[in-house]
Amino acid sequence: MAKTSSTSTGPVKKTIAKTAAAIGNAAIEKDHNEGKLMEFFCDQLKDIYWAENHIKIALPKMIKAAASPVLQAAFQDHLKATAGHISRLEQAFELLGKPVRGKKCEAIEGIVLEGESIIAETEPGTAVRDTGLILAAQKVEHYEIATYGGLAQLATNLGLTDVAQLLTTTLAEEKETDALLTEIAENSINCEAASE
Ligand SMILES: [Fe+2]
Ligand SMILES: [Fe+2]
């Protein structure tokens, strides 16, 4: 009886040991993957931090170049909002216990350059220039919306609730700006540009 019992627990013990090892390996792999994902997430935070700072430098040039007072005011408001986006990202770095760092964002650099060439290629004080400025600004907004949307989701998946909340708040503001720019374009500037 004792012999039977010992032979039957042998394979069971082996199976338990194998299962435990498999769970252990899976846990190590999961930790490793989460570590990699966190690294990627922090890298993307640096990208958008650089982008926001670059936008902060570009917006005063757009305010100066815009002809419509309504558009100027919208850019002015977004400049203030951008300072808030930068500060939220700094809070996110702090929550993660990471130093506040930026990493050059080639995409935003390109979109801002495109905006500068629109200014160079259009007449000052025209609705055509304003149309171009809105187009350039909305490309920036869409880049930001895609980035904040993706990063907020990633933060949630990583269990970073407070960071996700910060990113979601900024996401809502970027969407609002995008909608406002569409409204300005549709309600006045595009018609004026067509009649110039
Ligand atoms: Fe922003
Ligand atoms: Fe923005």
100 contacts 70 by C-beta, under 8 angstroms: no
Domain limits, the chain: 36-195
Q: Report residues of the chain scoring pLDDT below 50.
A: 1-6
Structure tokens at 68: 């419509």
The span from the CA of 181 to the CA of 59, in Å, is 14
**Ligand lying nearest the CA atom of residue 137:** 2
Residue 1 has a pLDDT of 43
Residue 3 has a pLDDT of 46
Q: What is the pTM of this model?
A: 0.83
Taking ligand 2, which is a single-atom ion, which protein residues have CB atoms under 5 Å away?
Answer: 144, 174
49 contacts 163 by C-beta, under 8 angstroms: no
Class for the domain spanning 36-195: mainly alpha
